[in-house]
Structure 1
Amino acid sequence: MAVTKRRTRRSKEEARALILEAAETLLRKGGPAAVTMRAVAGNLGITDAAVSHHFGTRQELLEALLHQGGRRLKDELNAALKEWRETKPSIQSLVDVIADVYADGAYSELALQLHLSGWRDRGSGLLNSVVDELHAMRTKAFAAGGRKRPSIQETRFAVGMMHQTLALDPLFGEDFRRSAGISSADKPSIKQRKEMWGAMLRAILEG
């Protein structure tokens, strides 16, 4: 007598998490173009309709994937800030964390593609905790030097500018560096780039 294998029933949250995990694997291997409903379904051994049931369209799946990347970035940044509080805060360590998240360019390319398609993320404040921590350091340093209290807007702008630079560097960094005369042969290593970005942010915040 044949035994019928019972299908594992998963909760909605578990199913969505598995789909996003498969989509992220495809994203990191082949960029946004590789993330299709059929490819995700094939990786999980389910139907395209099952993926559509949880995410609707491919566009909605890509948007959910980008939001997941944002949450991961925030988690990593919060972990770095926690370590800061337990040791000695460092601007350089924050630059390292953000640069590492965007290093392979996958989420940078996804965010750019969605932006060009007309999608806009209306959320804000992803790096608010970073701004608060850096501004507290900056305020303390200015007070110790007998200087006027620094502007929170300046701190926000500096952090936003650095986030923009680090997020887009995997896509356009080499092209922009070539415009300044840096050839492929003498391009700085990722370690050197991190150090220069850290130095720039320190100069802006401490200036």
Structure 2
Amino acid sequence: MATRRRRTPDEAKRLILEAAGELLAAGGPAAVQVRAVAAAIGVSDAAVNHHFGNREQLLSALLRFGGAKLKSELHAALGTWTDGPADPAELVRVLSALYADGYAELALALHQSGWRDTGSGLLDEVVDHLHAQAQARCAAGGRTPPTREAVQLTVAALHQALALEPLFGGEFRRSVGLDAAARERVLDWWTETLRTTVAGTGAARAEQDR
């Protein structure tokens, strides 16, 4: 008879959160029930509650899990920027995919229940990379680079738009006469907006003063 391997607490939590994430993507926050998560990985309801306390705490942990997953994917995307210019399209794709997998609905549901995110700096690494590359490329091309705050504001607006997209994107597009097919064009627009910000403006001041 095969010996059943005992999972470490960290491994058990990871498996529970991965199963909860799959349920979230398939059916939204309502699908993430303790019993369904337990059944997905072959443990008891009590085992799930042992690690997370109750469903609300499980949902909060799932949102943090999504944030950690996002940071990991963004870090991987940023790694590809070291070999060439930053490609905002990959940033837009990673952010859009996360929120499309149910995390937008989850964040709203938790917010309505009184939960508040006290963390910060989720996209600091993205801002740092974009700003550094903007400075280097603008210096080489004789343009005035954007300030760090300009990059921060653009990335913050992008993040807000993509987080709200699964919830209200269709309504906002219809308000100006756009149909559902315009969603991809909106993502393309955000990519070009980031590229425009990073590209800087005009000629460098030193050139203008000559």
TM-score range, shorter chain: 0.7 to 0.9
CA distance in 2, matches of 1:9, 1:146: 60
Runs of 4+ in 1 over 6 A off after TM superposition: none
Alpha-carbon distance in 1 for matches of 2:78, 2:4? 43
Deviation at 1:150, TM superposition (A): 3.8
Percent of matched pairs sharing the same residue: 49
1:129-153 superposed Cα distances (whole Å, 9 cap, x missing partner)? 1000111123334545363x64322
- Kindly indicate whether residue 190 of structure 2 is the aligned counterpart of residue 197 of structure 1: yes
* Deviations 1:44-77, CA, capped at 9 Å, x for gaps: 3322111111000111101111111111111111
Give TM-score scaled by structure 2 length.
0.85
How many residue pairs match? The answer is 199
Aligned equivalent of 2:22? 25
User: Do the aligned residues in 1 keep the contact of 2:85 with 2:133 (CA within 8 Å)?
Assistant: no
Q: Does 2:149 align with 1:153?
A: yes
Gaps of 5+ in 1: none
**Cα distance in structure 1, aligned partners of 2:90 and 2:179:** 28
Distance 2:89 2:18 in 1: 30
Residue 177 (str. 1) matches residue 173 (str. 2): yes
Alignment of structure 1 residues 32-181 onto 2, 5 Å: 32-104=29-101, 106-143=102-139, 144-145=141-142, 147=144, 150-181=146-177
SS at match of 2:182: coil
Please, what is the CA RMSD of the aligned residues?
A: 2.1
Q: Structure 1-normalised TM-score?
A: 0.86
CA distance in 2, matches of 1:140, 1:88: 10
